Structure 1
Amino acid sequence: MPALVSERTVLDALAAGRADLAVPAGALVTALARDTARDHGLTLRLAEPADGRRRGAALPAPTPPRPVAGAPAQTLALGCDHAGFEIKDALAAHARALGWTITDVGTGSAESVDYPDFAYAVGRLVHLGQTQLGLMIDGVGVGSAIVANKLPGVRAALCPDVFSAFNARAHNDANVLTLGSRTMGVETCKRVLAEFLGTDFEGGRHARRVQKIADVEARFLPGAPGAA
């Protein structure tokens, strides 16, 4: 699992009085982490390699991600916050038993974290075409769905029951599922996840409607003429 530099990582560095933060090569630096570092004057630098032959350079600004077509089939980005940690492993095992390959973006313990960091990490992998679908678990699922839906091309749906999961995939072509560990039992979550993973988009009249969702999104992307 790649290292994650979240807003909490930056805040801890600031609280320790640090002026810069070494970021491991290949680490995922969340948008909130970058913004917080910028706003507080904390420099994010690439960590020195193990042999110490060169000093860390300033971390480059992120290039706006572009969606990549053709995500590998049956690949699932999986994330949670502290509220979802208790059931994450059970859902990961369930997905693997159904034939899916998991990319786990964290969190790795029940210590309190901020769900936007992990919802963003899940949505980003789907947006970039690195995974076919995403799953994010927090206390209720609403907040994570809001975050993931900020990423272009992501259609996240909170599905509290099996029918919602079917409809989200078959009619809305949803590609990220959010679940609430405090409102749903683990067995319900397993059934919902299985339905979400096992249902294909029906297309037809629904394709026209999903395209209209994409059209609304496109009006507000950078460079779009006359956002309205």
Structure 2
Amino acid sequence: MIVDLNVKGKRAIVIGGGTEGVRKVRGLLGQGCKIIVISNRVNRFLSDQAALGKIELVKAKLCDAKILDNYSDDNVFLVLAATNDRELNRMIVEKGRSMGAFVYAADDPEVSDFSYASIVNIEGVMQVAISTSGKSPIMARKVRIRAERVLRRIIKKADIENAKLQEFARQAARPRIKTVGERKEFLYSLIKDKRIQNLIKEDRIEDAKSATLELLQKWERKSTK
């Protein structure tokens, strides 16, 4: 089962600042969560992210998971163990789980609450996940590389812009159209609307938004009858 986890506004701790730790930090950036990175070594990427205020960086050499006691009252949502020490990762996972967090060990899927899929990320809007449920991250990555070439050909710029417009329209419609069913019909109507689709193809995105709001007014009147 692949789940797109909502971590917005939540606290995530990544322990380990090597290649795997950096990969996990990159995956969390832009998700709207508070990221704390604990590591005895700090590379340029982590330093830059800390300077930009995107992560909180704690430099510490660890031999156990006691440092997590500092965050026991912080409602930590995720604890990701990404050190190069398997036993330390297990201690981190056990401690994180005792705190009520979802836990993940980069080198030990059996003790993790979830596995990471190999992601094809297209403009930060569409993500396609390929997973072996932790059986073989290497094969997931290999297949993802092949699939990415195909997906980048078939997912067009108009698809990306339509996804963005759907988000805009959904937020605008929520307080104005009464029922979930009617809102869903409204959103489908945007995809079928020739005027809006032509504006998207012509890269006239603001005009497409204006046309969407015009259409929403008609649906709102219909919804209030």
TM-score, with structure 1 as normaliser: 0.27
Kindly name which structure, 1 or 2, has the bigger radius of gyration based on alpha carbons.
Answer: 2
Quick check: which one's helix share is greater? 2
TM-score, with structure 2 as normaliser: 0.27
